[in-house]
């Protein structure tokens, strides 16, 4: 994807969000609507300017060589995997618990990115879990989703 296409897509997306936002606040009384409406108008006008500028190629012209070398992601595949793993982490977290999912996430991401030294990897993941437990759970008493095996054991006995 070129910089120009990406910029135009973002501008078009913002215009769409402005339209949705406009309908969202249309029922509000004037006083409460005034400020968000002004902001939506500003975003709409500026996004249109961005879109027009992108279509006529002005943005790429200003950026010169930078625009030519531009890439949305260093590796689109790894970016997608990164976000997907993070989403999976958040999805499974309430069921498996913080430490179990964090341990799996650290190992999974590092392995996926080409790190293949099992002992340092497991030690790092374990060390991180112990650090978080000691500082945030034991010392500062921060609540975190409970581990599935702890729940399982407590219901069994």
Partner 1 sequence: METLQAIFHALPAVLAWHNVLAMVVGTLAGMVVGSLPGLTATMAIAVLIPLTFSMSPLVALGIMAGIYNGAMYGGAVPAILLNVPGTPPSIVTTFDGYPLAKQGRAALALKVACWSSAIGGALSAISLMALAPPLVLVTLLFGPSEYFWLGILGMSSIAILLGKDPIKGLIAAAIGLLLGTVGSDVVTGQQRFTFGRLELIDGINLLVILTGLYAIPPAIRMIEKRYSENTERIEIKGHPDDGFFKNFKYLLPTWLRSSLIGIGVGILPATGGSMAAFLAYNEVRRTAKNPELFGKGDIRGVAAAETGNNSDNSAAMIPALVLGVPGSGVSAVILAGLLVHGLQPGPQLFRDTPDIVYGFMWQMLFTSFMLFALGGNIATRLFSQVMRLPQVILAPMIMCLTLVGIYALSNDMFNVWIMFGMGIVGYILNRLDFPLAPIVLGLVLGNMIEQNLRLTMLIHQGDLTALIASPLSKVLFGLCLILCVVPIFRRLRRAKS
Which positions lie near partner 1, rule CB under 8 A? 3, 6-7, 10, 14, 21, 24-25, 28-29, 31-32, 34-36, 39-40, 42-43, 46-47, 49-50, 53, 59, 62-63, 72-75, 78-79, 81-83, 86-87, 89-90, 93-94, 98, 102, 105-106, 108-110, 112-115, 121, 124-125, 128, 132, 136, 140-145
Q: How far is the CB of 9 from partner 1 (least distance, A)?
A: 9
Q: What angle do CA 96, 144, 120 make, to 5 degrees?
A: 70
Burial 62-85, CB ≥16 within 10 A → b, else e: eeeeebeeeeeeeeeeeeeeeeee
Find how far residue 36's CA is from the centre of its chain: 25
Q: How far is the CB of 113 from partner 1 (least distance, A)?
A: 4
4 contacts 54 by C-beta, under 8 angstroms: yes
Q: How far is the CB of 154 from partner 1 (least distance, A)?
A: 19
Q: How far is the CB of 126 from partner 1 (least distance, A)?
A: 12
Cα distance between residue 156 and residue 97, in whole Å: 18
CA neighbours closer than 13 Å in the CB half-sphere of residue 54:
17
Tell me whether residue 16 or residue 42 sits nearer to partner 1 (CB atom).
Answer: 42
Tell me whether residue 32 or residue 152 sits nearer to partner 1 (CB atom).
Answer: 32
Rg (CA), the chain: 24
Tell me whether residue 8 or residue 157 sits nearer to partner 1 (CB atom).
Answer: 8
Q: How far is the CB of 16 from partner 1 (least distance, A)?
A: 14
Tell me whether residue 68 or residue 142 sits nearer to partner 1 (CB atom).
Answer: 142
Cα distance between residue 68 and residue 60, in whole Å: 8
């Amino acid at each position: 994807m070129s910089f120009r296409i990406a910029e135009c897509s973002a501008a078009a997306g913002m215009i769409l969000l402005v339209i949705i936002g406009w309908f969202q606040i249309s029922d509000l009384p004037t006083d409460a609507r005034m400020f968000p409406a002004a902001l939506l108008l500003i975003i709409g006008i500026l996004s249109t300017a961005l879109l027009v500028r992108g279509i006529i190629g002005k943005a790429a012209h200003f950026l010169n060589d930078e625009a030519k070398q531009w890439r949305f992601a260093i590796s689109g595949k790894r970016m997608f995997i990164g976000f997907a793993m993070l989403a999976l982490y958040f999805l499974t977290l309430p069921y498996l618990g913080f430490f179990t999912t964090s341990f799996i996430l650290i190992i999974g991401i590092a392995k996926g990115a080409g790190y293949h030294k099992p002992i340092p990897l497991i030690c790092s993941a374990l060390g991180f879990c112990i650090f978080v437990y000691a500082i945030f759970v034991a010392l500062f008493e921060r609540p975190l989703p409970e581990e599935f095996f702890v729940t399982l054991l407590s219901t069994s006995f």
